[in-house]
């Protein structure tokens, strides 16, 4: 099967058509996330415009789409509600704008400090779990589209002919997206599918349309300073929310950037993306919108439709603004089924189906990490899922490394015994290391050759000093070979309890001091 995400050079036509497809897909998502956050629909639509435009122009990952997202919207709910309690009805929205501005400032600071590179510490199993969990979240979000809708109110499940019509239009959309590229690639299959299903609806087919969620009609966004008290009390209220929003936004954005990197076989710039995301959120807050971050679903629609350059994101953002200003009558009549079908195809393309092939072929701990991250992503939050996954992976690594400290006797005489030590010597393995020595049974001189080991931290050095003290107490001397200059210096600073032999082939590495 042809890989729809294969490496491909972008061109103006592909970027423009792909951007138009993304603009159509952004509409229901932005409205839905605005409802989740408890704010007017236009607040979400304006956020999609500002986030998409600024990150497309200045971000570190061409082809990646940003906008209002569910991960940030669920954090905003409590902020808006508490803000209303503090200042009355409508005050929560003003506090939200101020918080989004502060969120952007924090994100820009993270980028300026070059902290975006920390995403490299995320292991592959965590990435797989993140992608799988997000695919499930996108799928579950589409199920609400099979219910009767009246703006923010969600009714009962569709039934009878309405349900069958919805299923049929969704299936038609998915079939066009799947089969059209086999005949022509002149037009993105997602855009063609939306237009075909919209044409069927225009002929008089009675099905739910975007206008049933909310009208996208609006005017140009206006500069708006948040109407909140500018004092320490306000800062104390919004700062925790801003810190959480900044963390959630950056984690989701950098994870999406890494995924797009892998799909397109190119490399984005994480720190630049952090600065652009921050700038976009600050502008969003000053123009009365809810801000956001990278959107993995829309990013994959863009990549699948041929969008590779910055033009695709710019066209998506500008196209969305045109829909708001003059295109509402048309957009309001697009069937929800068409956009739901597009998102179902995104789910199929997003989920790492290769996960099932790893059973029995990779360590069980990796499978466990994938399952944990997937579950936490679905039932809690994307950012929390990634943090939990990294923590579990680190603990698994520490546990395995602690069990791999090995001691082999390579020389044994009446007066001298030489051990070859292998493995990582750090806080997790020092107990295993200490338990392998019996000073009372060793000869007068004992040599530990550290050629196949690394002393990783101060705990490792302290373990060596403690062992040297054990030998000194029974009147014996401990010698060490093949330590790095950094290790030798730190042992010397600790009091020269151990004799370190300098060798021509000593390794060169540093010991972690934090």
Q: What is the pTM of this model?
A: 0.72
Regarding beta strands 416-425 and 406-412, do their DSSP bridges make them parallel or antiparallel, or are they unpaired? Answer: antiparallel
Cα 212 to chain centroid distance, Å, stands at: 32
Cα-only R_g, the chain: 29
Q: Report how far residue 505's alpha carbon sits from residue 507's, in angstroms, rounded to the nearest whole number.
A: 6
DSSP letters along 111-129, please?
HHTTGGGGGGGS-HHHHHH
Find the angle CA(441)-CA(443)-CA(446) to the nearest 5 degrees. Answer: 105
Residue 147: beta bridge partners? 157
Which residues are CB-neighbours of 72 under 8 A, at least 6 positions away?
A: 245, 248, 249, 290, 291, 292, 293
pLDDT at 11: 77
Q: Report how far residue 466's alpha carbon sits from residue 487's, in angstroms, rounded to the nearest whole number.
A: 15
CA atoms within 13 A on the CB side of 379: 6
Q: Report how far residue 315's alpha carbon sits from residue 52's, in angstroms, rounded to the nearest whole number.
A: 9
Q: Shortest CA distance to 28 belongs to which of 193, 187, 141, 163? A: 141
Q: What is the distance in angstroms between the CA of the first residue and the CA of the last residue of the chain?
A: 49
Cα 142 to chain centroid distance, Å, stands at: 21
Q: Residue 145 gets which letter from DSSP?
A: G
Largest distance between two CA atoms of the chain: 99
Residue 450 neighbours by CB distance under 10 Å: 22
Q: What are phi and psi of 156, to 5 degrees?
A: -75, 165
Q: Is the dihedral of CA 469, 474, 475, 480 positive or negative?
A: negative
Residues 49 and 280: beta-carbon distance below 8 Å: no
Domain limits, the chain: 12-373, 403-501
Q: What are phi and psi of 208, to 5 degrees?
A: -70, 140
Q: Shortest CA distance to 459 belongs to which of 481, 485, 430? A: 430
Which residues are CB-neighbours of 192 under 8 A, at least 6 positions away?
A: 176, 180
pLDDT mean values, one per 10 residues, the chain (514 residues): 47 88 85 80 93 95 90 84 87 94 96 82 82 83 82 79 93 92 81 89 84 83 92 92 89 87 86 95 95 88 87 94 89 87 83 82 86 87 80 83 81 88 85 89 90 84 88 89 81 69 74 61
Q: Is the dihedral of CA 47, 49, 54, 60 positive or negative?
A: positive
Name the architecture of domain 403-501.
Answer: 2-Layer Sandwich (3.30)
CA atoms within 13 A on the CB side of 102: 20
pLDDT at 495: 62
- Angstrom distances, CA of residue 280 to CA of 53, 168, 255, 302, 324: 8, 39, 18, 20, 19
DSSP letters along 184-236, please?
--SS-HHHHHHHHHHHHHHTT----BGGGT--------------S--SHHHHH
SS (H, E, C) 342-389: HHHHHHHHHCCHHHHHHCCCCCHHHHHHHHHHHHHHHHCCHHHHHHHH
């Amino acid at each position: 099967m042809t890989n729809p995400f294969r490496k491909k050079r972008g061109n103006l036509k592909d970027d423009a058509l792909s951007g138009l497809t993304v603009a159509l897909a952004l509409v229901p998502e932005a409205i839905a996330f605005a409802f989740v956050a408890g704010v007017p629909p236009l607040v979400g639509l304006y956020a999609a415009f500002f986030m998409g435009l600024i990150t497309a122009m200045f971000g570190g990952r061409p082809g990646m789409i940003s906008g209002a997202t569910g991960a940030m919207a669920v954090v905003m709910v409590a902020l808006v509600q508490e803000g209303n309690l503090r200042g009355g009805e409508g005050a929560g929205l003003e506090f939200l704008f101020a918080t989004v501005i502060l969120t952007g400032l924090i994100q820009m600071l993270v980028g300026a400090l070059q902290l975006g590179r920390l995403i490299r510490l995320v292991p592959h199993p965590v990435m797989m779990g993140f992608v799988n969990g997000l695919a499930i979240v996108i799928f579950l979000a589409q199920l609400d589209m099979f219910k009767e809708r009246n703006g923010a109110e969600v009714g009962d499940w569709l039934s009878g002919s309405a349900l069958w019509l919805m299923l049929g239009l969704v299936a038609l959309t998915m079939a066009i997206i799947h089969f059209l590229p086999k005949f022509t690639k002149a037009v993105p299959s997602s855009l063609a599918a939306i237009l075909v299903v919209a044409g069927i609806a225009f002929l008089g087919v009675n099905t739910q349309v975007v206008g049933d969620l909310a009208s996208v009609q609006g005017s140009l966004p206006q500069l708006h300073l948040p109407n909140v008290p500018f004092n320490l009390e306000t800062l104390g209220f919004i700062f925790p929310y801003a810190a959480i929003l900044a963390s959630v936004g950056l984690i989701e954005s950098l994870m999406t950037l890494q995924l797009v990197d892998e799909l397109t076989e190119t490399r984005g710039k994480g720190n630049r993306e952090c600065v652009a995301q921050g700038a976009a959120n600050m502008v969003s807050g000053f123009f009365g919108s809810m801000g956001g971050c990278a959107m993995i679903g829309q990013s994959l629609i863009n990549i699948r439709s041929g969008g590779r350059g910055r033009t695709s994101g710019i066209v998506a953002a500008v196209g969305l603004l045109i829909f708001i200003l003059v295109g509402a009558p048309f957009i309001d009549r697009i069937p929800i089924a068409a956009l739901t079908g597009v998102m179902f195809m995104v789910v199929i393309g997003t989920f790492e189906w290769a996960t099932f092939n790893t059973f029995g072929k990779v360590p069980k701990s990796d499978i466990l990490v994938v399952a944990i991250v997937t579950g936490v992503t679905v039932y809690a939050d994307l950012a929390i899922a990634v943090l939990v996954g990294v923590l579990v992976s680190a603990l698994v690594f520490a546990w395995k490394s602690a069990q791999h400290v090995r001691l082999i006797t390579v020389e044994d005489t009446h007066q001298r015994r030489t051990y070859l030590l292998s493995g990582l010597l750090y806080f997790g393995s020092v107990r295993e290391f200490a338990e392998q020595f019996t000073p009372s049974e060793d000869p007068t001189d004992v040599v530990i050759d550290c050629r196949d080991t690394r002393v990783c931290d101060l705990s490792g050095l302290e373990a060596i000093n403690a062992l040297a003290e054990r030998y000194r107490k029974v009147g014996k001397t401990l010698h060490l070979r093949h330590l790095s200059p950094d290790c030798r210096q730190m042992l010397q600073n600790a009091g020269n309890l151990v004799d370190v032999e300098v060798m021509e082939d000593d390794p060169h590495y540093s010991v972690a001091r934090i």
